[in-house]
Every structure is written in C-alpha cells, then in structure tokens.
Chain A
Amino acid sequence: MLADSVARFIDNEYDFESRQQIVEGGVGYSRELWQTYAELGWTAIPFAESDGGFDGGPIELILLMEQFGRGLVVEPYLPTIVLAGGVLRRIASAKQRKKWLSGIIEGRTQAALAFAEPQARFEISDVATTADANGNGFILNGQKNLVLNGNNADLLIIPARTGGAQSDENGITLFAVASDSTGIDRKDYATVDGHHAADISFKDLHVDSESILGAVGKGYATLQAVIDEATLAVCAEAVGILRTMHDKTVEYAKNRVQFGVPIGTFQALQHRMVDMLMACEQTYSLLLWAAMLNADGDADAPKAISALKYQIGTAGRTVAQEAVQIHGGMGVTWELDISHYFKRFTAIELLFGNADFHLNRYLARTLHESAR
C-alpha cells in the first residue's frame, strides 16, 4: 500500500522534467514537495508512535526508497529522516526529541549527519574531529566532508572524539548542534548525482551538555547501526534505479530501428538484456533478505547488508553500464534521463563504502564465524 501510494506519486507528480527543474532550482529540493511528504506521513514512517511516528521498519523503508530510486527523487529523505532521524530516534533524550523530532516529522526542520571526514575514506570510526571537555559541555574542532544535505540542514549531528585514538570505535560521541552556531564554516556544493552536500569545518565550536546524544564516548554502535540502515536504504533506491534503467533499455531496444529492424531483435542484445533482468532479480532478492534480517535485529544483518552493497557495486554496476551502452549515443547525453539514473547509481555505489569495502567487511565477519 505504501509502495503503491509512493509509486502513484512518482508517476503523477515527479516526472523527469519536474525532477530536473527541482535539481536546477535554488536549494536543490522542493520545499513544497517536502511538505507534501510530511502531509502524506512519509517523514514520520520510521519514528516511534510515541514520538508521532508510525513505527515503520526496514521493510517500509525499502519500499519507499525503491520508488524514490525509480523517480530519481532528490528531496533529502536519506539525510534528514534516515541518517539524522535515525540517530535521534535511537538515543535522543525526551528533551532532545521534543526539541528536534517534531520539527523533522512535520517537515519544518532539515537535518544532516556528518559521517565522513577527509582522511577517513569509508571508515566511520576514523574520527579526527575532537571534542574537548569544557565545563559541562565541549569544544569541537575538526572537519567533515560530504555532509549530505549539509547546505540545508538546520540541525547537524556531529560525531566527535572525546577519547581514544583516531581510529578507535570507543571514544566517539554524537552531538546535536544547530547549524547556525558560531564556529561552523561551510562550503556548499552540488554533487554529480543531482543532490547537494557541504564540507563543514568546526573551529572552537562550543556545545553545551544538552547537545550530547546518548552516552559520552559510546556513540559508535549507534552510528554504525544508522549507517547500516542508510546503506540498506540506498541499496533499495539503487534497485529502483536498476529496474527502471532495465525497463527503459528494453523499451528503447524495441523502438530503435537500425538496419531496418528494432535493435531488440538482435540476439546478442537480447541475451544481455536477459542478463540484466537476472541481475536485477538477484539483487532484489538480496535486498529482501538483508531487510528482513535487519528488521529482526539478527546478528547477521550487517553482514547481509555488506553482501547486498557488494552486489550493487558489481552486478548492479554492470546493469547500469549495459543500459547506457544499449542506448547508444543517446545514453551519454544530458537530455535523456538514463544518464541521470546512471550518475545517481554511481554515487550510491560509493556511499557508505563501495563494493571492495563491503566485500572486506563480509569476509571479516565470515572469518570471524569460522574461527568460532
């Protein structure tokens, strides 16, 4: 039902031209549509009923995100609801929920989670940003890059190090900070996939005890859980993209006539389009498996998510490349939507770790099992 209503919305309100207009507009997303998402209850899905949400889980999330992939939606659902919202719903105090959550759910507040640092590549435990104790609060210094929706965020969730060595999981604290606080410097930019982000630096940013989320020095577990969930979300978005790219490729091959026949009659291309179909279906199967394990809180859920992300970056990449190739010259033009699907897919390949990164994570967990 959720999938249907989101699908209908994409079909009726979010065609490619509309999407491009939003991308090229001022802030890179539609404020009006964000209000619509709030009115439709989509911004409330993952939050607890007691917070004004719908207690939605990973299954609801992937149904929504697959449709967002299909429509190449650029509104910052991932950064605000899944990333920042994901942290808040897990460890925010009652006071913090009151301060931040209703604004997010009602569509008034934009947010971002600063999960990446310039030296860290994909390692979220690599946190060089420091938080030095100052009375009951802290002083933050450091840099974050690729803060998704950082250009729009009212609220920034900042992992900073209160203890431990730079790469330690222990000693990371999560802070909720208003983006207009003194000591924050931002460089906003568009990203190659039609979205927006910012590089943000903190210089003697004073934060009080109200901004500390959860326990001091114990933020890593939450951060990792949120990133896992976000990984699942972008994989679902990627599945939506891949299926759409495949459908469009088949349609194109049926209509494009060269040598007097539709190119879809050439057996060589038919087999490749079948290969694409199989890859899409296999990827979707892994998506369902990973989402179910995640919903059950299964200990193997992170491993499953890594398997899925690996699949996206390998089999998925082939589907995306084949779609562009079969479209011929048209596939590399700005005008045709297929090239924009390709770019967003490629960005997703990199987000939260690429295929190699996740293969290593999968292997590490496999070896750990064998050792037991």
Chain B
Amino acid sequence: MHVSFTDDELAFQQEVRAFLEEEYPDDIRRKQDSGLPIGRDDIVRWQKILYEKGWAAVNWPVEHGGTGWTTIQKYIFENEMGKVNAPLFVPFGMKMVGPIIYTFGNDDQKKRFLPDILASDTWWCQGYSEPGSGSDLASLKTKADRTGDHYIVNGTKTWTTLAHYADWIFCLVRTSSDVARRQDGISFLLIDMKSRGVSVKPIPTIDGGRDINEVHFENVEVPVENLIGKEGKGWTYGKVLLQHERTNMATVPQSKYRLRKLKREAASPISGAASLMEDPNFARKVAVAEIELKALEYTELRTLAAIAVGKAPGPESSILKIKGTVVQQMLDELFLEAAGYYALPYLSDRYDVDFPEIEKITYDAQTKSSLKYFNNRKATIYGGSNEIQKNIIAKHVLGL
C-alpha cells in the first residue's frame, strides 16, 4: 500500500478540483465556511449538481448509477470534497437504504426507489432506535402485523434525523415474536411518510436544534410490496448497512479541514500580544489532535487497501468510528477554548436557516463553537455508541 498517486490518479484529482472550482455553489461554500446552517433546498441543490455530473453514487454498482471508481479514486474524491468542506451527502438514502435495496430488494423495488434516491428526488430517514431500544436495538418493539396484502404498523421510532424533511422512512420492525433469537423476528420495511397514521414530533437537542424527531406509527397500512427480502431477515440486512455506516464515520477529510481552520484562527493575536498558538498549553493540544488524526488517516487507508483487494469492511471498521468521533470531539473542545467568551452568547435566531445576513461571520462562527461542542457529544453515542463498538471489537476481533 502506498499513498503516492499514479499519473491517472493525479489527473483525476485535477478533474475533481476543477469540478469543485466551477460547480460548488458560492453561497453554499460561504455558509459552510462560516458555520451557518444550510437547509433542505441547499442540500438537495448540491446533491443534484453531483447527480448531473454522475458523481452522486460513489459506492453504487455502475448498473444502478454508480461511478465505477477504484478505491483510490473514491478516496481522492472524498478528500477533495472534504478539503473545501462541501456538505456531506445525506446518508440515509444514498449510503444506507439504497445499498440495501440494490443488494436485497427485488427488481420492482429497485425500479421504484433507486432512481429517485440517485437523483435526490426522494428524501429518506432511518427508523431504527426506539425509546426502549438504543444500544440494544434487537429488543425493538415496533410491530408490523400481516393482514392480507398489508402490514399494520404500530410503534414509535426515536432519534430519527431529519424526519421532518423525509418522504420515506426505512424501518426495522418486528414481524414475529415467536422466535428463538429476537433478531430472527425483525424485518426491513419501507414506509411512505405520507401514510395515514404517521406523525412526526421534533426532539429538541441540547443546543436548541431540531434535527431529530420521534416518529409515531398508529395502525399504519404498509403494502406487502414494501418488505425488503424475507421476513425475519431485516436484522441481517441492517447489520450489513451498519458496517458501511461505520466507515463513513471516520470523517478524516472533514477533521483535517477543521484542524486547518483551527490553526488559522488560533494564530490570530489576542490581547494585542501573543496568539493562542504561542501558548504551549494550547499548541500542545493542537499537536496531539493532529497526531491522532494522522494515525486515523492511515488506519483508514489500511482499511481501504483491504477493501481494494476485495475484502468487505469488517469489525475493524469499528475502530474508525470510535477514533473518528473522538478526534471530532477533540477539535470541538479546541474550537470552544479558542473562542473563549465569544462562545457564550446564545443568539438562537441567527442559526435559523432563513436568517438572511451572513456578513457577520467571525462573531457568529465563534458563538457557534459552544453549540457545536454541545450537539456533537452525540457523535460518541450514535451509530452504535463507542461502548458498543468496543464490545464488537472485543468479541469479533479479539475473540473475548
């Protein structure tokens, strides 16, 4: 494994850079750089630009609209996107349910759902966690009872990110309780958010944000055609997806971008005298974060090298999720410390998507550092908490 690129790969890198120069919208770039919120319309607009280029489905098979790139090309692409801090692709459709549908779905389901996911015409959300089923997801209770050619779904899903934007939800539901293993009673069901009986309630988060929701299902009729694969196989399908979710969580390019930004900000003089980077206490912590990030970058490259020769991402991918989120939080802390008192005002109306002014950037970005620090405590909790990740590594890698 080596990290020097071939001439072809370098040419591809130039191609990606040129595309971003020309096509990455200035207004979205400004918002991303200053930490101001981007809304549903901005996200869809950007994803459609990638779709028009044919670059939306980086990991999909070519037959379904994928790019057909090598592992190195995918790595180059993700790196260049991260360098400019382009918005991450909303994962639920493109990176989660899409792969499940083309892997385990039937031809009809592929035809119905995949093109709209590819074109960002359908927004998906994930119905997994429940109030009583967080880490112990297999204990989930949302029921889907088969009646004729429908399932009747009853239950509550929680922590559903951006459900208020979503057109569809993919759910793990319990179709049978008469099983030896709880997992064997779980099925994978696609549900139209406009179905009668589906209601969405926001769950305000620690920072005052309203990105996550509770989705309640009351006697929701779901056509049998919306079942993926076989009843009782939902857990297996979901597990495959969760492993993909974990590799995405290393977020190395995004953390590199933030580290560069942090060093720039911390280099500004304070108190008319030295900059924060000249304080050995702070500089040391920045160096430690940088070293951790470099280690993570190479652990990810090693994982990608394995994938490149045909191995699927296994339990080792849990390391990327653990360390990726820990590094994110190290950077959150450093941004908070760098902001000092500027982190304390709570100017909540400025974080509304519709707030028109984006000129007052420095002050707002710094005040955002505390909200980001608060909100991102979730990183070590979601996607399978870091504790669960360690259990998986202990069991499946160490055999303990």
Interface residues of A (CB under 8 A from B): 116, 119-123, 126, 145-146, 166-167, 189-193, 197, 258-259, 263, 268-269, 321, 324-325, 328-329, 331-335, 339, 342-343, 346-347, 350, 354, 356, 359-360
Contacts and interface: CB of A to CB of B under 8 A. Distances in A.
Contact of A126 (B159, B206, B271, B344): B271
A343 B271 contact: no
B135 A189 contact: no
A116 B279 CA distance: 20
Given A123-B271, A167-B272, A328-B381, A356 B337 contact: yes
A258 B345 contact: no
B167 interface: no
A342 B206 contact: yes
Interface stretch (B73-81, B255-263, B303-311, B368-376): B368-376
Nearest to A356: B281
Chain B interface, >50% SS class: mixed
Given A329-B381, A343-B374, A258 B135 contact: yes
B171 interface: no
B205 interface: yes
B341 interface: yes
B208 A346 contact: no
Nearest to A145: B341
Interface of B: 129, 133-136, 139, 158-159, 203-206, 208, 270-273, 279, 281-282, 336-337, 340-341, 343-348, 370-371, 373-375, 377-378, 380-382, 385, 387, 390
A120 B271 contact: yes
A354 B345 contact: no
Contact of B204 (A123, A329, A335): A335
B389 to A, nearest CB: 12
Residue from B282, B371, B377, B385 having most chain A Cβ neighbours under 10 A = B377
Given A167-B271, A329-B382, A359-B281, A339 B347 contact: no
Contacts of A126: 271-272
Top-10 shortest CB links A-B: A334-B204, A258-B136, A339-B206, A356-B281, A192-B346, A146-B341, A190-B346, A332-B378, A191-B344, A189-B345
Nearest to B137: A258
B205 A333 contact: yes
A332 B336 CA distance: 18
A333 B203 contact: yes
A267 B374 CA distance: 27
Contacts of A197: 344-345
A325 B377 contact: yes
Nearest to B206: A339
A334 B346 CA distance: 14
B255 to A, nearest CB: 19
21 contacts: A119-B270, A123-B271, A126-B272, A146-B341, A189-B346, A190-B345, A191-B345, A197-B345, A258-B134, A324-B377, A325-B377, A329-B129, A329-B134, A331-B381, A332-B374, A332-B375, A334-B206, A335-B203, A343-B374, A350-B343, A356-B337
B370 A192 contact: yes
Contacts of B206: 331-334, 339, 342-343
A167 B273 CA distance: 10
Contact of A333 (B204, B281, B341): B204
B271 A119 contact: yes
Given A119-B270, A126-B271, A167-B272, A360 B344 contact: no
Contacts of B205: 332-334
B363 to A, nearest CB: 9
Nearest to B387: A268
B270 A121 contact: yes
A166 B273 CA distance: 11
A119 B269 CA distance: 9
B369 to A, nearest CB: 10
Contact of B380 (A123, A259, A325): A325
Contacts of A145: 341
B135 A328 contact: yes
Nearest to B343: A350
B195 to A, nearest CB: 25
Given A119-B272, A191-B345, A334-B208, A346 B381 contact: no
Nearest to B138: A259
B373 A191 contact: no
A360 B341 CA distance: 18
Given A191-B344, A192-B346, A328-B135, 19 more contacts: A116-B341, A126-B272, A166-B272, A190-B345, A191-B345, A192-B345, A258-B136, A269-B387, A325-B381, A328-B385, A332-B381, A333-B205, A343-B370, A346-B370, A346-B374, A347-B344, A350-B343, A356-B282, A356-B337
A128 to B, nearest CB: 9
A189 B347 contact: yes
Residue from A145, A167, A263, A328 having most chain B Cβ neighbours under 10 A = A328
B136 A259 contact: yes
